[in-house]
Chain A
Amino acid sequence: MRLRTARSRPLLAALALALPGLALAAAPANPPARVQASCTMCHGTHGVNTRMPYIPRLAAQSRVYLIEQLRAFRDGSRSDPPAIMYMWPVSEVLTNREIKKIALWYSSQKPPRPQRANALLVAAGHKIFLRGILKKGVPACMSCHGPQALGDGIYPRLAGQNAAYIKEQLRFFRSGIRHDKNAAIMHMVTAHLSDREIREVAAYLSHL
């Protein structure tokens, strides 16, 4: 067994060199110990099983965004009530290295499945997502989060996210409870959104 393993290593290395893009994108084979011991209970090992409606799905989330949010929890700049209660204690002992490992793990998981939602809400939410609400000065969500809501860099993926979590966070942005980095932008975006419109956007995004 040892001989075969040793001989296979150059081959793997050659493949990795020949296909650098694939090698970089490859998901870690096993979840980091921190994910298993800590994150799994609420977010699930693969980030698609959140176990509670108001816990976010982390699978396929932007790696940069995950790193930024874990640091925001750790330094206390993200201070909405659930963040203080659940994520501050979890993140305060995370090292930068662990944060990167966790982010890489969840960002490289398969995206969550679309969720069922009321068709009327989805249709209305789709409009807001694509065009915004001109009368209220609400910009289109897609302008930052992308036409498929897949997110990129500091902009989080919203497609397939739990509707309850989206609604909760949009309300936090609207009320100004969230004031972590970039929250000011979302406060302006959500300031004139009604509860009904928040429900519509959340239904559409969870449906993607």
Chain B
Amino acid sequence: MTFSPRLLRLLVLVSLAAAAGAFWAPRARAVPSFARQTGWSCAVCHTIYPQLTPIGRLFKLEGYTTANYGALQELRQHIRRVAPLAISRVTPLSVFIQASDTYIAGGELNQFGSGGATQQAAVEFPEQVSLFYAGRISSHIGTFYHLTYTHTGGFGQDDSDVRWANHVHIVSPDGNSTLLYGADINNTPTEPDVWNSVPDWDWPFESSNYSPLRDIPLTFIQQSAGASEPLVGLGGYTAYLFGQEENHWLYIETDLYRSGVGIGAGTNTTFGAFGLGPTHNVAPYLRLAYEENYPHWNWEIGTLGMDTHVYTTAAASGPTDRFLDYGLDTQVQYLTFDNSFSFTAHASWIREIEDWYPVRSLSFDPNPVDTLNYADINGQVLWRHRYGGGLGFFDVWGTADPTLYGTDTGNPSALVSASGSPNTDGLTIEMDYLAAQNAEFSLQYSRFFRYLGAANDYNGLGRNASQNNVVSLLMWLAF
């Protein structure tokens, strides 16, 4: 979701900057159609959107098929008792509108994010509009299908999945337990996940298209959040709920990703609009997580990994670059019984080993191997479903490489590191007001202690990290 100097480098090389913005749409994921289907308020499954509660996690693991209002709303027919039809009489459509107003300390230089040219205090209305088809399709099949209209004009595919899910009860020596299992097709690594400590669902949940937050160097798996890379994954998952109160959850997910056709904006034959080629074979993704639930508390610890080889050109032949990502994450959550107060904290670390193949014809000659690390820790509170806030720190560090982050890139001056370093760290603080469960207003401030390698004069042209500090007024409405 955020521009990476590495990809910007390639972006510039192929002169597809205009098309790139469509891929970095901010995420929007609260879905009123689930509320229509279950009759539950948003607060049953979410704290601050899209942060999930344990009930929300179960709903997703069950394939979005739980339908408390099903009997009244479903059209049920059988043809010779063989071909069943049970579809909702109310189509599960939802709309999500986001707007923002952004002020950057050092001035809007038309260099940050994917917003394009504008003046200081950039207003986006809409920042994006998302359309969802989200809900139960049949007794075991459900979908979270997500199209987004972006500020650049036109719709693109956003993070989505279609899943089949089932469960079986197991009588174990320790009591009864449940095995939830499913298969899905999705377009974003970590989208099928049920914790908000993974890239597609992490905090801050919303940021402006003009925010310099979108330009910090990120790993491949992070950049693919929000269907920002044209990937398609086929996968399966199991969640084993065990222990005498089934309060121990073990989650395993595996997916195989490869370049997809029909993903939306950009080209179908290259790896997005960025000049990277398509995936070589498939990119395996593995996720393991463990959760424990208590009446008010739950906590999770997990690990993930993905190994992606992509061709260096659109030709889908010849040498490849390799991105090997792996990481750890944890989440702690406190909820009152009616969720009138909630606190959720996340911490994550992702390390990427980048094995580059130089493309002399494009003057692309990075180090043979680079590493990039991303770590963050953040927490959010929500009181009375109305007043919320969040605070988080992030740190990016890795191998200095002028080809990826330095003057060699030809990037705009604010996105160049004089030392070629990706090292960036800072904090984000946010205050939220929910006028209703489906209408949120936020004031968000991000402060950078270092930006691309230094606090002062990081680009060699006198720009300081603090000049990238940014304040945004954000709004979203869902209905």
A53 within 8 A of B: yes
Name the residue of chain A whose CB is nearest to the CB of B76. A33
Contact yes or no, A115 B245, CB < 8 A: yes
Q: Mark A31-54, 1 if CB is under 8 A from B, else 0.
A: 001101110111011101111111
B70 touches A37 (CB 8 A): yes
Q: Are B293 and A52 in contact (CB under 8 A)?
A: yes
Question: What total of chain A residues lie within 8 Å of the partner, measured CB to CB?
Answer: 37
- B337-A81 in contact (CB<8A): yes
- Chain A contact surface mostly: helix
Does A89 interact with chain B (Cβ within 8 Å)?
yes
Question: CB distance B246 to A38 under 8 Å?
Answer: no
**Known contacts A36-B139, A53-B295, A89-B39, A41 near B245 by CB under 8 Å:** no
- Are A37's CB and B241's CB within 8 A? no
Binds A, one of B55-63, B93-101, B353-361: B55-63
A138 at the A/B interface (Cβ < 8 Å)?
no
Which of B170-178, B263-271, B299-307, B343-351 lies on the face that meets chain A? B170-178
CA distance in complex: A164, B294 (Å): 8
**Once the chains bind, are B39 and A93 in contact (CB under 8 Å)?**
yes
Q: In the bound complex, do residue B69 and residue A93 qualify as a contact, i.e. CB atoms below 8 Å apart?
A: yes
**Does residue B404 face the partner (Cβ distance < 8 Å to A)?**
no
Chain B minimum-CB-distance residue to A89 = B39
CB of A85 closer than 8 Å to a CB of B: yes
Contact among B39, B65, B71, B244 for A92, CB-based, below 8 A: B39
Write out the residue numbers on chain B whose beta carbons fall within 8 Å of the beta carbon of A164.
245, 294-295
CB under 8 Å from chain B, chain A span 72-117? 81-82, 84-86, 89-90, 92-93, 98, 112-113, 115-116
Contact indicator B58/A38 (Cβ below 8 Å) = no
- Beta-carbon contact of A49 and B176 below 8 Å: yes
In the complex formed, the residue of A with least CB distance to B246 is: A51
Does chain B have a CB within 8 A of A62?
A: no
Report yes or no: A98 in contact with B246, Cβ–Cβ below 8 A: no
Interface status of A162 (Cβ within 8 A of chain B)? yes
Residue on A nearest B294 in the bound complex, by CB:
A53
A168 interface contact, C-beta 8 A: yes
- Which residue of B is nearest A80, CB measured? B337
Q: Is B284 in contact with chain A by the CB < 8 A criterion?
A: no
Q: Which residue of B is nearest A59, CB measured? A: B176
CB distance from B196 to the nearest CB of A (A): 18
Q: How far is the CA of A46 from the CA of B247 in the complex (A)?
A: 17
**Which residue of chain A lies nearest to B38 when distances are taken between CB atoms in the complex?**
A89
B44 at the interface (CB under 8 A from A): yes
Q: How far is the CB of A175 from chain B (nearest CB, A)?
A: 12
Candidates A36, A40, A113; contact of B176 at CB < 8 Å: A113
Given contacts A51-B178, A52-B246, A116-B244, contact A38 B43 (CB under 8 A): no
Q: In the complex, are the beta carbons of A162 and B245 less than 8 A apart?
A: yes
- CB of B139 within 8 A of CB of A54, answer no
The minimal Cβ–Cβ distance linking B366 to chain A, given in whole angstroms, is 48
A-B contact pairs, 25 of them (CB 8 A): A37-B70, A38-B67, A46-B176, A49-B178, A51-B178, A51-B241, A51-B246, A52-B245, A52-B246, A52-B293, A54-B295, A81-B340, A82-B338, A84-B338, A85-B40, A85-B43, A85-B337, A86-B40, A86-B44, A89-B39, A89-B40, A92-B39, A93-B68, A115-B175, A164-B294
Binding site for A on B (CB under 8 A): 38-41, 43-44, 54-55, 58-59, 62, 65-72, 139, 167, 169, 175-178, 241, 244-247, 293-295, 336-340
Supply 20 further A-B pairs (C-beta < 8 A) apart from A53-B294, A89-B40, A113-B175. A34-B71, A37-B65, A38-B70, A41-B58, A51-B241, A52-B247, A52-B293, A53-B245, A53-B247, A54-B295, A81-B338, A82-B338, A89-B68, A90-B68, A93-B69, A113-B244, A115-B244, A116-B244, A163-B245, A164-B245
The 9 closest A-B pairs by CB, nearest first: A89-B39, A81-B338, A41-B66, A164-B295, A53-B245, A115-B244, A90-B68, A48-B176, A54-B295
